[in-house]
A and B are shown apart, each in its own frame.
Chain A
Amino acid sequence: MTARIRGSASVAGMIGALALVAALAGHEPAEAQDAPAELVVLEEDEPQTTWPFNARTMAEQRLAELLFDRVFVKGVGGDVESNVVNDGWTARPPNLTLTIRDGLTFSDGTPATFGDLAFTINDVYRRGDAGHTLAAWYARVFGDAQQITPNAGSVRYLVQMPDEGSELYLLTTALLSQKALTVNGRVDLEGTKRTPVGTGPFHAAATIENFDDVRLVRNPHRPIPERIQSKDDREPIEAIRLLYDQDAARQKELMEGSRADLWVTPPPAVLPGFRNQKDRYAVRGYDLNQWWYVALNHEHPWLGKPEVRAALDHVIQREQLVAKFGADSARPTSGPFLPGSAWTPGDHAATPHDTAAAAASLKAAGLTEDGGRWMADGAPVEIRLGVQNDLLDDFNDVVYGVIGGWEDLGFKVRVRGIRAADWASKIEGGQAGADYDALLGRWSLDREEAALELFRARDGDGRTTNLFGWSDPEVETILAEFYGETSGPAREALMQKLHRHVAAQRPYLFLWTVQIQSVIRRDKVVGFRPAPFYYFTNIDRAAWRTAPAE
C-alpha cells in the first residue's frame, strides 16, 4: 500500500490513497485487531534513510529520534541528560570517561557496550565514505587515529576541551549497534537501513518495506518511565505509524476525519480551524530555526551580476506574502540570521519592495527592456526555477507570489517541482546548475551557527548545502576569524558583518522565517511536547488518554 497522495500523483497513486483512507478508517485485517493502537503521525517528505548521521531532511531527523538514543540530550532547562551512559561521567582532558548504562539493550535484544560507542564514532561517524558530511567535523574533534578504544570507557578528544561540558560534543552522536550494522565483517549502511536497530523508544519490528508508510512499535527492551505507566485514565503509546509524502489537503482530511493523531508541520494557514476546536485539538509550538530562500546560481552569465540579483530581490513582496501564512506565523528575513538574533544587525532590514529600484538595477547591469520584457544579449531573460515539491504543493500561493513578482518585472520563469529523492541526489549532490538557475526551498537549523555551513566553499564532491557552490573570499576570511575567536563581542561583530555581507552578495534571496506549530488530537493524546528541532525526544512522556475505568 502506498501513502503517496500528492495533488500531482498518478492514478495508481490515487488508488493507493483510497486504500490508505480505507485502512485508516479502521478496516484493518482481522489479524490486526489485537495490535496495539497506533499513534498516526502525518509527516513531510518520504525519508531515504533511517540512519541519523545520514539525515538530510527534518523528516529523516525526526524518524531517527524515535529509533536511536543520542549519547547525550539537552533535557528540560538545558541540563544534559543521558539514556545511554550512567550519571557521573568525568572529564580529564583530553579524555571523557563514560560507562554505558547498566542494562541498556538494543531493540534486537543485544546488550549495548562501550564497544558499540567506539564503533559508532570510529567506524561510522568518522568515516568519510559513509554517505554523510560529518566525517570532517568528527575528525577535527576526535582526530584521525583510533582514539576511542573498545571497552576502554573513555573517548579522547583532539580539540581543546573544557573540564566541564565536554559531553556536549556527543549531543548529536546516536548510539549504533555494531552487530546490526556489520554484514560479513564490514559496515553496510545501505543494506541495513530498512532494519534499523537502536536503543530508542521505538523500533521497526519488521523490515521497513515502504518508506512512505513506516510502522514502529515500542522498543521492548527499553523500560517505559514509571510515571507514564498505565494509570486509570491513560496508557502508554505502544505503536506509531508515520505517513509521509502527502499534500496538506489530504493531511487535513486525515486529521479532521479522525484518521491521524499528530500533524507535525501543517501549513500555518490551516491552523485557525484547528485552534477553534480546542476540546479536540491542541496546537503546539515546534521550535525550529526555519528560513525560506531562493538560491541563485552565481555562475550564470547574468545572475552572476549583483545588480540582477538585487533586482530579483526588490520585486519580492515579502510583507504581502508572509501574510498568506496566517497572522504572525512568518516574518521577513534580511539575511542568514533570523530577526531578533544577536547576530542580525538591528539596523539591517529585509529588502523592501521597490520596482523602480529593480528596473534601475537591471539597466545598470546592461539588460535592456523591450515591450515589457528584459533582454540580455538580444534574448529574453528566462529563469529556470526549481522548487521543492512539498512547497509547490502546500504553499502554491506563496511560491507563485514570488514568481509573479519576477514575471511582472519582465522575466520569463519556468518552474519545475523537485522530488525529495532528486533533491537529495542531484541538488545536494552538486548538480543543481545543470538544470536550474534558481532554487526555492527552506532550511531548518538546530541553531543559528549551522547557517554558516551554507556559505562555506565546497570541500570535495560530497553532498553539500551550498547548493550552487557559491564561494566568497571575504566569507572564508570571516569564518576563519570566527572559528578562531573566543571573545563573545568579537564573534557577534563578525557574524553581524557576515550577515550584512551575505545579504548584499545574495547567494540566496532571503525570504522569511516561519514559526512551526503542530496539531495534536488532545482528546486522544496527552503529555506530548515537541522538542526543539529533534521533535520526538520526549515521546516517552506522551500517552493515550482513556476514559477512567468504572
Chain B
Amino acid sequence: MPRLVLVLLLLVGCRPAPEGPAPLHAPDAVRATWPVQVAVDPTVSDDTLAGLSRWIGEGDAGWPPPLASGPTPSTARAHREDIVAIQLIAWVGLAATCRLGREPGALDGVPRADELAAASCAAVDPAVTQTPLPLPVGGLSAQLAPAHSAVVELHGQRLTYRFLHPGLLDSPLLIAQEPGDSLVDRVRTRRWGSGPAAPISDTTLAGLEQLAEREVAGWQANLAALPELESSLHGVVLGWVRGAVYGDLGAAVLDSDPATAQVLLEEAAGGVPRPRPGPGRDPVLLARVAMARWRAGEFSRAAELLRDVSGQPGWEFAGIAAEMAARVAVLPSATDPRVRR
C-alpha cells in the first residue's frame, strides 16, 4: 500500500467506510472536486465565484428577489432553486391552511375560508381531488400575492386572514429544470466531482450522522494531502463540505423522516438558533428547514423562520405561510397545561 495512503488512513482514523463514498484520497481526484476548485483553481472566474456566495458565502447580505435575472453562471441554478424554495414554502402554507380547514371551527366565520382550505387540501394531499382554482394572470408576483385576504373584527381585535393561492404548486411559472452537472451546479452538494452522490443505506439519524462525519473526516485527510491548499483555508473548505454533506443528507430524508431531516438541515444552516436568509443560507436550504420543522410538528419554529424569510424583498409571500403555521401552533389541545420553571 502506498505510504501516502497509509498516512491518510491513519489520519482518518478508520478504514474506508463500508457505505457512502470511497474517500477521495488521490490528489488528482481531489483537485477535480468543487471544494478544491473553488478554493484554488485559477480557471474558476471571479464572476463564477461571486455567484457562488449564495451557497457558500458569509455575511449579512440578503437574498435577491426570487427568479431575479443576472449575468453570472450561477443564475440558472439560482433560478431553478428559487422555484423549489417557493414550492416548499407554498406547500407549508397550503398544508397549514388545510389543517386549519379540517379543524372544527378554526376558520369559523372567515369569508371564503372553507373554499380555500378545501382547495389547499387538494393541493397538498394527493388523496383529495378537486378542480384547481385558476391562477391569476400577471406573472409570479401576482401568483404569490394573497389569493384572498379577509379582515375579521372580534372582541375589539382586528384579525387578518390571508391565503396563498391553492393553485400555486401547479403554476407553469414554477416548473424547475433538472440540475446540471457543472461546477456551479455541484457546489454545496455531495456531488464532489462528476457523477452522482454516493448512495445512503442507513437512514436513521445515528446512521446519517456517522456517514456525515466519516465524509468530513475523509475530507480532512484529502485537504491535508494537497500542498497547494494553504492550511489557513482548510477550515473554510471543511465548512463548505460539512454544509454540503448535512444539507444533502437532510434533503434526502425530508419526506421520510422530517425530524431527522430537521437536525441535519439545521446543522447545514450553521447550527445557529435562528438561521436567517443570507449568503451560505440559500432559499432552498432554509425552505427545507422550514418544511422539516413543520412536518416534525415544530410549528412555531417553522413560522418564525418563514417570517424571517418574508422580510426579504420578493419573498413576502412566506409571511402568509408563517401566519397560517402560527395559527396551527395554537390549535386547542386536549392535554393539561405544562408550566415549568
List the interface of chain A (C-beta within 8 A of B): 45, 55-58, 60-61, 74, 76-78, 134, 137-138, 165-166, 168-169, 171-172, 227-228, 232-234, 268, 275, 278-279, 282-285, 287, 289, 327-329, 338, 340-343, 345, 388, 423, 428, 441-454, 465, 481, 486-497, 515, 517, 522-523, 526-529, 532-533, 538, 541-543, 545, 547-548, 550
Contacts and interface: CB of A to CB of B under 8 A. Distances in A.
Interface string B185-224: 0000000000000000000111101100100110010000
Contacts of B114: none
Contact of A55 (B210, B267, B340): B340
Contact of B271 (A282, A481, A497, A548): A282
A449 B104 contact: no
A283 B301 contact: no
Contact of A341 (B209, B242, B330): B330
**7 tightest CB-CB pairs across the interface, nearest first?**
A527-B206, A450-B337, A488-B106, A493-B154, A446-B338, A168-B334, A487-B108
A340 B209 contact: no
A494 B155 contact: yes
A530 to B, nearest CB: 9
A349 B205 CA distance: 40
A172 B100 CA distance: 24
Contact of B266 (A284, A341, A548): A284
B259 A497 contact: no
Contact of B333 (A134, A168, A227): A168
Given A74-B297, A76-B257, A526 B106 contact: no
A517 B274 CA distance: 11
A441 B341 contact: yes
Contacts of A233: 210
Nearest to B161: A489
Contact of B206 (A234, A329, A443): A234
A522 B206 CA distance: 10
A497 B18 CA distance: 59
Contacts of B156: 493, 497
B124 to A, nearest CB: 14
Contact of A345 (B107, B157, B274, B297): B157
Nearest to B336: A137
A18 B299 CA distance: 44
Given A60-B340, A284-B271, A454-B339, 18 more contacts: A166-B334, A283-B271, A285-B266, A287-B298, A340-B322, A342-B323, A423-B341, A428-B341, A443-B340, A487-B105, A493-B156, A494-B155, A515-B273, A522-B213, A526-B207, A527-B209, A529-B205, A545-B210
Contact of A282 (B157, B267, B330, B332): B267
Interface string B135-172: 00000000000000000101111010100000000000
Nearest to B325: A342
A169 B334 contact: yes
Q: How large is the interface on B (under 10, 10 to 19, 20 to 34, 35 or more residues)?
A: 35 or more
A495 B330 contact: yes
B15 interface: yes
Contact of B157 (A232, A497, A547): A497
B208 to A, nearest CB: 9
A538 B327 CA distance: 27
B272 A327 contact: yes
B13 interface: yes
Nearest to A498: B155
Contacts of A60: 340
Contacts of B232: none
A543 B206 contact: yes
A529 to B, nearest CB: 5
Interface centre among A443, A446, A454, A542 (most CB of B within 10 A): A446
A165 B103 CA distance: 11
Contacts of A494: 154-155
Interface in B236-268: 239, 242, 257-260, 262-263, 266-267
B341 A58 contact: yes
Contacts of B155: 481, 490, 493-494, 496-497
A342 B259 contact: no
12 contacts: A56-B340, A78-B297, A282-B209, A338-B300, A452-B337, A486-B108, A488-B106, A489-B107, A496-B159, A526-B209, A527-B206, A547-B13
Nearest to B322: A340
Contacts of A284: 263, 266, 271
Contacts of A446: 335, 337-338
A147 to B, nearest CB: 16
Contact of A77 (B274, B297, B322): B297
B154 A489 contact: yes
Given A341-B330, A489-B159, A57 B341 contact: yes
B119 interface: no
Nearest to A278: B242
Contact of B336 (A134, A165, A285, A492): A134
Contacts of A172: 335-336, 338
B174 interface: no
Contact of A492 (B159, B217, B272): B159
B338 A529 contact: no
Interface in B299-341: 300-301, 303-304, 307, 322-323, 326-327, 329-341
A547 to B, nearest CB: 6
Given A56-B340, A341-B329, A527-B205, A548 B15 contact: yes
B26 interface: no
A105 B161 CA distance: 49
B110 interface: yes
B109 interface: yes
Contact of B326 (A45, A169, A285, A342): A342
Contacts of A78: 296-297
Contacts of B209: 282, 522, 526-527, 545
Nearest to B99: A78
Nearest to A166: B334
A507 B154 CA distance: 25
Interface centre among B15, B100, B340 (most CB of A within 10 A): B340
B54 interface: no
Contact of A496 (B104, B157, B216, B262): B157
B233 interface: no
A3 B246 CA distance: 37
